[in-house]
Amino acid sequence: MSVSRTTVLGALALSGALLLSACASENNSPAPAAGGSGSSGSTGSTDCFSGNLKAEGSSAQKNAIDEAISVFQTKCADATIDYNPSGSGSGIKQFIAKQVDFAGSDSALKTVAVDGLVEADDAAKACGSPAWNLPMVTGPIAVAYNVAGVDKLVLDAEVTAKIFDGKVTTWNDPAIAKLNAGVKLPSTPIKVYFRSDDSGTTENFTKYLKAAAPDAWSYETGKKWTGKGEGKEKSAGVATAVKGQDGGITYVELSYAKQNTLKMAEIDTGSGPVELNAESVGKTVATAKPVGSGNDLALKIDYATKEAGAYPIILVTYEVVCSKYSDAAQGSKVRAFLTTFASDAVQGQLEELGYAPLPTEVATKVQTAVKAIS
């Protein structure tokens, strides 16, 4: 193939453009243009560090931690923080393999053996000190659906369990119709999508089904989906799948349901249908009980809550950290960043991203625990 003169010229022009642009300024301007991160809530002095910090894990908290990273990096120009949203399971594995400085997880480290491994023990071994679970963000899980002509849908735990177990297969099934008097349901088959990767969202959703509808949901709870349906990767995968499929239904974090403009079912806990909003989620978070000891702040959520107006399907996402890092510099970096993340200023911004703020009592404890990281 002979090279024509024009292609040679084109190549030269393109490489020239690349070379020229090398001289221009590189980093983006300090204040992010969008994102709504107002600088009003300054947290006072931030311990800046230079160098990088690596974290990996839950995709449910990605949008929240991205916001916190933006805030921190804006203040500290030399700091680089990377969060790789590869899923809770993967995050904890990489944390135990010492590949990341801290992990994001939708469930606290297990203290009982799963497949012969005790996560909490392995993490403590990797750290050389006990690992702590610090609740940082609470995120509601939406039961998102896409049924043509149905804008409002009420489900209860039992029907939800049956749908996700493949026992209820069409949208006009009497079980659904009973909860939705006056809604015209089509005979479209129900298409269930689940998370194919190890996911904390799956774990919290199955915990809800198990707690609130023990008769209808016979499977074990866990990061791997055990019900029926078709697997899609990551939160974005299930959300996009439902968006493109009439009759589709899935469980996904509120922020992803919002991004994809999916309709969300109201949940009937026994005291009337509850819509998913900050207030209804806050009511459930307030009932959560700490189960960890000392600065390990694992929470236990009452999924079977019957409190009026409380939306029961939520997850608490944790940062899994070492209580004492073998490298003191690493510890101070983690402490500096998490201080910003737990600060009222950042927490206050999370609501518009589709998360619920931590109850004040919990937030204070988290801030104390973060200070104790060394």
Partner 1 sequence: MSTLTREGRATGDRRPRPQHEDQRRDRRRDDQVPDEGATPPGQGPDAGPLAEMGSPQRGRAVKDAVARVVMWGAFGVVMIPLVWILYTVVSRGVHLLLSSTWWTNNQRNINSGDVGGGARHAIEGTLMMAGITAVIAVPIGILTAVYLVEYGRGGLARAISFTVDILSGIPSIVAALFIYAVWVTTFGIERSGFAAALALVLLMIPVVVRSTESMLTLVPNELREAAYALGVPKWVTVVKVVLRTAFSGIVTGVLLGLARIMGETAPLLILAPYTKNFQRDLFSGNFPTLPMMINQDRGDIGLAAAAERMWGASLTLILLVLLLNLVGRIIARAGSVKT
Among 47, 48, 74, 121, binds partner 1 (CB under 8 A): 74
- Taking CA atoms, 56 is separated from 53, 81, 197, 237, in Å, by 10, 11, 14, 19
> Is the CB of 21 or the CB of 293 nearer to partner 1?
21
> Is the CB of 303 or the CB of 325 nearer to partner 1?
325
26: Cβ contacts below 8 Å, ≥ 6 apart: none
User: Rule CB under 8 A: which of 288-347 touch partner 1?
Assistant: none
The yes or no reply on residue 363 touching partner 1 (CB under 8 A) is no
Around Cβ 258, how many Cβ atoms within 10 Å?
17
Q: With CA atoms as reference, report the closest residue to 318 among 67, 105, 33.
A: 105
The yes or no reply on residue 99 touching partner 1 (CB under 8 A) is yes
In angstroms, give the least distance from the CB of 278 to partner 1: 19
The yes or no reply on residue 27 touching partner 1 (CB under 8 A) is yes
> Which residue's structure tokens are 């694992």?
298
Instruction: Look at strands 79-84 and 263-264 and give their pairing.
Output: unpaired
Among 16, 38, 39, 98, binds partner 1 (CB under 8 A): 98
Report the C-alpha gap between 112 and 123 in whole angstroms: 13
The yes or no reply on residue 70 touching partner 1 (CB under 8 A) is yes
Among 5, 18, 187, 289, binds partner 1 (CB under 8 A): 18
> Which residue's structure tokens are 């610090």?
134
Instruction: Look at strands 314-322 and 266-268 and give their pairing.
Output: unpaired
In angstroms, give the least distance from the CB of 106 to partner 1: 16
The yes or no reply on residue 181 touching partner 1 (CB under 8 A) is no
The yes or no reply on residue 35 touching partner 1 (CB under 8 A) is yes
The yes or no reply on residue 75 touching partner 1 (CB under 8 A) is no
The yes or no reply on residue 371 touching partner 1 (CB under 8 A) is no
Say how far residue 349 (Cα) sits from the centre of its chain: 16
Among 80, 129, 226, 287, binds partner 1 (CB under 8 A): 80
Q: Total binding residues for partner 1 by CB under 8 A?
A: 49
In angstroms, give the least distance from the CB of 34 to partner 1: 4
> Is the CB of 163 or the CB of 252 nearer to partner 1?
252
The yes or no reply on residue 66 touching partner 1 (CB under 8 A) is yes
User: Rule CB under 8 A: which of 225-284 touch partner 1?
Assistant: 234, 236, 239-240, 243, 256, 259-260
Cα pseudo-dihedral 137, 213, 164, 106, rounded to 10: 20
The yes or no reply on residue 56 touching partner 1 (CB under 8 A) is yes
Binding region for partner 1 (CB under 8 A) out of 66-74, 170-178, 224-232, 282-290: 66-74
> Is the CB of 72 or the CB of 318 nearer to partner 1?
72
In angstroms, give the least distance from the CB of 279 to partner 1: 24
The yes or no reply on residue 372 touching partner 1 (CB under 8 A) is no
- Residue 236 identity (one-letter amino acid): A
Binning the chain into helix, strand and coil, the percentages to the nearest 5 are 35, 20, 45
Among 43, 48, 84, 290, binds partner 1 (CB under 8 A): 84
In angstroms, give the least distance from the CB of 58 to partner 1: 13
Tell me the H-state helices in the chain: 5-21, 62-75, 88-96, 119-127, 157-164, 174-179, 200-212, 234-243, 254-259, 278-287, 328-342, 344-349, 360-371
Cα pseudo-dihedral 300, 298, 288, 284, rounded to 10: -90
In angstroms, give the least distance from the CB of 95 to partner 1: 13
The yes or no reply on residue 5 touching partner 1 (CB under 8 A) is no
Report the C-alpha gap between 291 and 298 in whole angstroms: 6
CA atoms within 13 A on the CB side of 180: 22
56: Cβ contacts below 8 Å, ≥ 6 apart: 83, 84, 85, 86, 90, 91, 94, 95, 99, 100, 103, 104
The binding site for partner 1 (CB under 8 A) comprises 1, 3, 7-8, 10-11, 14-15, 17-18, 21, 24-28, 30, 32-35, 52, 54, 56, 59, 62-63, 66-67, 69-70, 73-74, 80, 82, 84-86, 97-99, 234, 236, 239-240, 243, 256, 259-260
